[in-house]
Amino acid sequence: MSDADLSTWAINRLEAHTRALRSGDPALEAVRIVAQSKVYHSAEDRDTRLRWALLALNANQRLHDDSPWAKARMLGHAFTLRTWVIEHFDPGTDPTWDPETLATDTLLALGADPAEVPAVDWRGLPVEEIGRLRRYKNLTAHLDRLISYLPPGATKDELAAWIQVRGRLP
């Protein structure tokens, strides 16, 4: 294995490497993938795996620009990883892993009421509208796994409505 094989690097080394990368550097995608893989498949202890998760989130956030598709991709990756951590580890005190914080972050990213999503056949809509609906679908992929961690209330009800809407999105 070469020195360029990031999957062989210790977390301290990869964190330092990541800090040295500029925002938008395509190398951040490799960091995100390696760090995320370490979260999912490593035999390391919980705290180390949470460090890997934070590194993956950091690389993911710094990689993407503010375009709608890039932002949706970044948030989709983040929401999926955060949900996985919630499912597999005790969330602890870090709000990054708090189910209610993730639910709130999701609703903020969606920025719409699920009742506003058209119930019409999307195939006849303009391509821009189909893209917007597709981003909603991507941003709600984790909800069926997250919802059971939430207490009853308005947030849980709104996420349940999004789960229903998701089934009819392109």
pLDDT in tens, 8-62: 999 999 999 999 999 999 999 999 999 999 999 999 999 999 999 999 999 999 9
> Would you give the DSSP letter of residue 66?
S
User: Which residue from 72, 62, 60 is spatially nearest to 134, judged by alpha carbons?
Assistant: 72
Q: Are 30 and 6 in contact (CB under 8 A)?
A: yes
pTM: 0.93
> Across the chain, how many H-helices and E-strands are there?
8, 0
